[in-house]
Amino acid sequence: MGETLKGVIDWLFEPTRYFLGSVLLLAAVLYFRRFFSKELVIIAVFALAGAFLAWAVGDHNFHKIITKGDNIPIVILLASVVFFSWLALRQAVINDERKKKGEAGIELELGKQKVFTWPDLVYTEFICILLFTALLIVWSIVVEAPLEEPAALARTPNPSKAPWYFLGLQEMLVYFDPWIAGVVLPGFIIVGLCAIPYLDTNPKGNGYYTFDERPFAWTFFWVGFVLFWVLFVILGTFLRGPNWSFFGPFEFWDVHKLEPLVNVDLSTYFWDGLLDKNIPTNPLVREAPGILAILGWFLVIPPLLGKTLLKGLVQRMGIVRFNVFMHLLLWFALLPTKMLLRWTVNLKYIIGIPEWFFNV
Amino acid sequence: MQKLLQAVRDTQLWRSVFRHGYPDTPRNRTLAVLSNTFLHLHPVKVRRSGIRLSYTWCMGGLTFFLFLVETITGLLLMFYYRPTAQYAYEDIIGIREHVALGVMREMHRWAAHMMVITVWLHMYRVFLTGSYKPPREFNWNVGVILLVLTLLLSFTGYLLPWDQLAVWAITVGSNMARATPFLGHEGPGASLLSFGGLNFVHAGDDARFGLLAGRFVGEGALLRFYVLHCVGLPLAAATLMAIHFWRVRKDGGISGPL
């Protein structure tokens, strides 16, 4: 029974299923938010998670990965992201319900009153600091900071992993070359975050929790932060072993686990598969279909959508904001698109010019 | 007893430090905040909606607190740590085995991890409450840079124990810089920057070389990361924090509905 369950969980956590399952779960949580924001739900979630942990930790492989010093924060990250997402959603649902009844939101009602910083705010801060200090002291005494053998550049550990907060980026290396996964996309994450206040022209929802008044903003951030960033970190930490192969949470990290490399470039599909010709040697000719696809992605989609489906958005945002927004969004969308193409047709590169280190 | 306390409070010494009585009256509560260097970061009065734990999650405050923890524990660690390939690893063992209060490295490391988490959650909360909207756009940007600095602080500190974990994590992380467009020798466009067959961008002068002070993670990288970790980045973060806190006040305090 136990072993079968472990097998099922290992199977479920395979990246495709893990990711699509998370997408469905997120969609369900947002759609049925009135149900998921109930107190009983979060209690049940944490009770189940606690029971699962207590049971799973008996497994040797699971125990090994979960109790690694630097992995403990990730368990905390997961628990706190789940809890705070629930807390935010709950307040948003309550506020939205009150709005529907014509009442003021919690923040607006309480915001009319002003209280003294001393003692009301200072005490909260003081208690938070005390609790955190206690937590840090206990944690520091109980768990020793990891220290491996002295540095030896001649011996490469397998797997070699970046610090945990960058493992989402390392996971992107499965789908993109380092210049995109490690430089361009992180750069766009920073630029995109900075651009948010200038792109979001919706004046509502300033200073209080609400979902109904800014559904797109919430969904977008949940997809970006919870789905991609946090889940990728967890995937990269717990489910990626030697050679960056996938390993289920109960699977032994076997260095010799083989994953066949069956990925094919778009150019091969086009010249060899579709036209049944020899693949041209000139890289620009060879990669013409991929280059056209990428140019179309960035240059055709924004005006096309702006003229048709998103006409209203262009009017609301203005042409400059709309274009900046669309380009940032398309860079972001490149990731799930490539993931889907990889999963469905084993696509390696859309443009593959290794001669110039230019692979997309 | 009461008389004794009153006598102490009436001394010139006491009165030179505390300019007001016990903060249990509106006047004294106001003075408590106004006359205290640290408390006066706060306004005297705050909106009740803004200080509920369920609204702010206290994550911004905790991030600042963890920064202070890092500063103090980091200072103590600096007494015992030498950033050279010869001594670094030994000193780390020494900090655990020979130094009184040998949990300082643990506290420094766990607090650093927690700081990354609290700063992410702070951003999460600020987004979900729409607190980046006017007039707080600029402060959101300062916050984004502080978030990046937090990650860089953690990243530079990751190398210092000089064990296998550290060296290879930084190797993997910094390998990305090699692929920077135009600036990394394995990045797209770098090969275009050549003159008469001479490459301007190669392994000995590209972005990764600048980061590591060498072609691989070695002694130069250790010193560079140490200086950035202990001096450069904390100074930058502290400066931006000052701006961040000041702008919270100037932009209307903890956000709330208008």
What is the distance in angstroms between the Cα of A301 and the nearest Cα belonging to chain B? 25
Q: Quick one: pLDDT at residue B99?
A: 84
Give the one of A120, A181, A197 whose C-beta lies nearest to B132's C-beta. Answer: A197
Give the one of B44, B103, B124 whose C-beta lies nearest to A116's C-beta. Answer: B44
What contacts B252, CB < 8 A, 6 or more positions away? B135, B136
Looking at the domain assignment, is residue A132 inside a domain?
no
Set of chain A residues whose Cβ sits within 8 Å of the Cβ of B171:
153, 160
C-alpha span between A189 and A184 (Å, rounded): 9
Give backbone dihedrals phi and psi of A227, rounded to 5 degrees, phi first: -70, -55
Looking at the domain assignment, is residue B5 inside a domain?
no
List the pLDDT tens digit at each of the 360 positions of chain A: 788 999 999 999 988 999 999 999 999 999 999 999 999 999 999 999 999 999 999 999 999 988 888 899 999 999 999 999 999 999 999 999 999 999 988 888 888 888 998 888 999 999 999 999 999 999 999 999 999 999 988 889 888 899 999 999 999 998 999 999 999 999 999 999 999 999 999 999 999 999 999 999 999 999 999 999 999 999 999 999 998 889 999 999 988 887 777 888 888 888 888 888 888 888 888 888 999 999 999 999 999 999 999 999 999 999 999 999 999 999 999 999 999 999 888 899 998 888 888 888
Set of chain A residues whose Cβ sits within 8 Å of the Cβ of B107:
136-137, 140
Stretch B6-35: mean pLDDT:
89
Looking at the domain assignment, is residue B245 inside a domain?
yes
Stretch B152-176: mean pLDDT:
93
Set of chain A residues whose Cβ sits within 8 Å of the Cβ of B168:
156-157, 160-161
Nearest residue to A106 via CA among B48, B229, B87: B48
Looking at the domain assignment, is residue A344 inside a domain?
yes
Q: Chain A residue with minimal CA distance to B101?
A: A141
What is the distance in angstroms between the Cα of B132 and the nearest Cα belonging to chain A? 6
Determine, for residues B188 and A141 on separate chains, whether the beta-carbon distance falls below 8 Å.
no
Determine, for residues B134 and A197 on separate chains, whether the beta-carbon distance falls below 8 Å.
yes
Determine, for residues B58 and A125 on separate chains, whether the beta-carbon distance falls below 8 Å.
yes
Determine, for residues A140 and B166 on separate chains, whether the beta-carbon distance falls below 8 Å.
no
Determine, for residues B257 and A77 on separate chains, whether the beta-carbon distance falls below 8 Å.
no
Q: Quick one: pLDDT at residue B187?
A: 85
Please report which helix (H) or strand (E) contains residue B47, including its range. strand B45-47
Q: Quick one: pLDDT at residue A192?
A: 96
Determine, for residues A113 and B48 on separate chains, whether the beta-carbon distance falls below 8 Å.
yes
Domain count of chain A? 1
Domain span at residue B117? Answer: 52-250
> Which residue(s) pair with B198 in the sheet?
B195
Set of chain B residues whose Cβ sits within 8 Å of the Cβ of A128:
53, 58, 61-62, 65
Determine, for residues A150 and B30 on separate chains, whether the beta-carbon distance falls below 8 Å.
no
Predicted confidence (pLDDT) per residue in A82-106, tens digit: 999 999 999 999 999 999 999 988 8
Looking at the domain assignment, is residue B45 inside a domain?
no
What contacts A315, CB < 8 A, 6 or more positions away? none
What is the distance in angstroms between the Cα of A73 and the nearest Cα belonging to chain B? 6
What is the distance in angstroms between the Cα of B89 and the nearest Cα belonging to chain A? 6
Domain span at residue A304? Answer: 266-359
Looking at the domain assignment, is residue A290 inside a domain?
yes
Give backbone dihedrals phi and psi of A292, rounded to 5 degrees, phi first: -65, -40
**For testing contact with chain A, the best of B55, B76, B121, B128 (most A CBs within 10 A):** B128
Instruction: Give me the half-sphere count of Cα atoms (radius 13 Å) on the Cβ side of residue B167.
Output: 21
Predicted confidence (pLDDT) per residue in B171-208, tens digit: 988 888 888 888 888 888 887 887 777 888 888 888 88
DSSP designation for A358: E
Looking at the domain assignment, is residue B88 inside a domain?
yes
Set of chain A residues whose Cβ sits within 8 Å of the Cβ of B199:
none
Predicted confidence band of residue B22 (pLDDT cuts 50, 70, 90): confident
Determine, for residues B172 and A160 on separate chains, whether the beta-carbon distance falls below 8 Å.
yes
Pick B148 or B19 by higher pLDDT: B148
What is the distance in angstroms between the Cα of B164 and the nearest Cα belonging to chain A? 4
Determine, for residues A150 and B177 on separate chains, whether the beta-carbon distance falls below 8 Å.
no
pLDDT of B258 higher than 90: no
What is the distance in angstroms between the Cα of A207 and the nearest Cα belonging to chain B? 4
Q: Quick one: pLDDT at residue B178?
A: 87
Structure tokens at B211: 């980061």
Set of chain B residues whose Cβ sits within 8 Å of the Cβ of A225:
120, 124, 127
Q: Quick one: pLDDT at residue A260?
A: 76
Looking at the domain assignment, is residue B95 inside a domain?
yes
Stretch B15-23: mean pLDDT:
86
Instruction: Give me the half-sphere count of Cα atoms (radius 13 Å) on the Cβ side of residue A282.
Output: 3
Looking at the domain assignment, is residue B124 inside a domain?
yes
Looking at the domain assignment, is residue B22 inside a domain?
no
Q: Chain B residue with minimal CA distance to A114?
A: B47
Set of chain A residues whose Cβ sits within 8 Å of the Cβ of B83:
none
**CATH at B80:** 1.20.810.10
Determine, for residues A117 and B45 on separate chains, whether the beta-carbon distance falls below 8 Å.
yes
Q: Chain B residue with minimal CA distance to A181?
A: B176
Domain count of chain B? 1
What is the distance in angstroms between the Cα of A188 and the nearest Cα belonging to chain B? 12
Q: What pTM was estimated for this model as a whole?
A: 0.94
Predicted confidence (pLDDT) per residue in B80-104, tens digit: 999 999 999 999 999 988 887 788 9
**Number of Cβ atoms within 10 Å of the Cβ of A249:** 17
In contact, A268 and A279? CB cutoff 8 Å: yes
What is the distance in angstroms between the Cα of A95 and the nearest Cα belonging to chain B? 12
